[in-house]
Structures are given as C-alpha cells and as structure tokens.
Amino acid sequence: MTKEKLLAEIRMMGIKDKKVLEAIEKTPREKFIRKTDDSQAYGNYPLPIGYDQTISQPYTVAYMIQELRLKKAHKVLEIGGGSGYNAAVMSNVVGKEGKIISIERIPELVEFARKNIRKEGIENIWVVKGDGSKGYKKQSLYDRIIVTAACPKIPEALKDQLKQGGILLAPVNAGFGQEMIRLKKTNHGFEEESLGQFRFVPLVTED
Ligand code: SAH
C-alpha cells in the first residue's frame, strides 16, 4: 500500500483531525521498522520490531493522537516507546515548543527508538529507559499522557503526574482485548470515558 492509500483509508475509518493526518503524512514509517519489512511500511497493520514487540497499526496511532486532543506546545509522556514512531508523529503535532518524553523498558528498543529519532533530525523527543508504569516524575506535570501497551489498570503514578485539565489515554484490559480509556483530570477528580475495543502488546511491570 502507498502512503496516499493509507491516508485515504484512515480518513475513511474516521480520522478527521487535520494536524494528525498531516503528521502521519510527514513521518516516514519506513524509517521506524526493520529494513526487511520495507515494502510493508504503509500497510494499515502492526509490524514486528523484535523482542516480541510491535510498531502499532497506523490507524491506532492516528486514532489515539486524535482522541488525546494533542495540541501545539504540549508536554507529553508516552509509555512504551517501541520504535519511536508514535513519539515522532506526536512530536510533529506539538511542534518545537512542545516536548515528548517516551519511556521504554527494553534497552535494545530504547537504542532503536533513539537511533530512528536522531536520524530523522527530531529534537523534541527524549527516550528514557525504565518502567513507565511509574511515570517520569522529574519532568512532570504533563499536559497529556499516552500509554501504548495494554495495562490491567491505569497506574496511579500516571494519574498523579497529569496536569489539571490534562488528558490520559490508555488501553485497559477487558475480555480478550483492551478498552481504550480516556481520563480527564478536573478540579473535582477524574472524568472517565470508554472509546472502544483495541488490541495491544502488554505493559510489563517490574513488581
Ligand atoms: N509506541 C510504540 C509501540 C509500542 S509497543 C511505537 O510507536 O512503535 C509497546 C511497547 O511498550 C514495547 O516496546 C514494550 O517493550 C513497552 N513496554 C511494555 N511495558 C512497559 C513498561 N512497563 N514501561 C515501559 N515500556 C514498556
């Protein structure tokens, strides 16, 4: 599939946010996958990136960023850096005044993501090695938090590190797949919405 066909497909599937479509168009997915999968870079499906992990389906990436209501200049925490692709698409939306901190637990993928990001000349993403279920307090609070691995429940640390008025999006285990949950932090607690079913690789915690 070509990039143009992929964009047409995700538009048809309901992605309307122009900034998101533009960011998908500008981010070369072929630079965030293994060379052997080059011909499949614009297929609308996940691809293996090694270590039993995958780069998410382009539609899922677009959908999550759209539903996160990501805007220019936002400071974002991502859990599950993987290939760095989702972070790269988000970095395009937040622009130079924005910042993405992406946590990844597998050292080889931390290196893979860093290398992919560096080669693209992207300067507003920091990939950090660690257990993302604890968040990354040093840089908190965040305007947006996005979890790109399936979690049994939303980690409390992440809720604590969200700004007032901020939004957190996470796929939470439900039945055979995950339910996409959107939390908004308000001055009277969290508002929770359920957005639909997805499938993700699991969030692995150390304790
Ligand atoms: N966003 C990625 C795809 C994520 S796949 C991309 O665009 O390519 C999910 C990733 O979450 C995997 O790389 C996995 O190693 C990582 N992961 C799982 N549990 C984690 C944890 N507790 N902390 C940080 N990363 C974790």
In a domain, residue 31? The reply is: yes
For residue 137, what are the domain limits? 3-198
Which band of pLDDT confidence, cut at 50, 70 and 90, is reported for residue 98? very high
Mind giving me the DSSP string for 121-142? T--SEEEEES-GGG--GGG--E
What is the average per-residue pLDDT within 73-89? Answer: 98
Ligand 1 centroid vs 102 CA: distance in angstroms? 9
Please name which of 187, 145, 139, 134 lies closest in space to residue 170, comparing C-alpha atoms. Answer: 145
In a domain, residue 109? The reply is: yes
Tens digit of each residue's pLDDT (9 = 90 or more) over 33-47: 999 999 999 999 999
Q: Tell me what pLDDT residue 207 has.
A: 66
In a domain, residue 33? The reply is: yes
Mind giving me the DSSP string for 34-75? -GGGGGGTTSSS-EEEETTEEEPPHHHHHHHHHHTT--TT-E
Catalytic annotation, residues: 56
Which band of pLDDT confidence, cut at 50, 70 and 90, is reported for residue 198? confident
CATH of the domain at 73: 3.40.50.150
Tens digit of each residue's pLDDT (9 = 90 or more) over 132-180: 999 999 999 999 999 999 999 999 999 999 999 999 999 999 888 899 9
Burial letters 97-113, b for 16+ CB under 10 A, else e: ebbbbbbbbbeebbebb
Q: Tell me what pLDDT residue 146 has.
A: 98
Ligand 1 centroid vs 82 CA: distance in angstroms? 5
Ligand 1 atom closest to the Cα of residue 51 is 15
Lowest mean pLDDT among 88-92, 157-161, 200-204: 200-204
Please name which of 166, 84, 161 lies closest in space to residue 121, comparing C-alpha atoms. Answer: 84
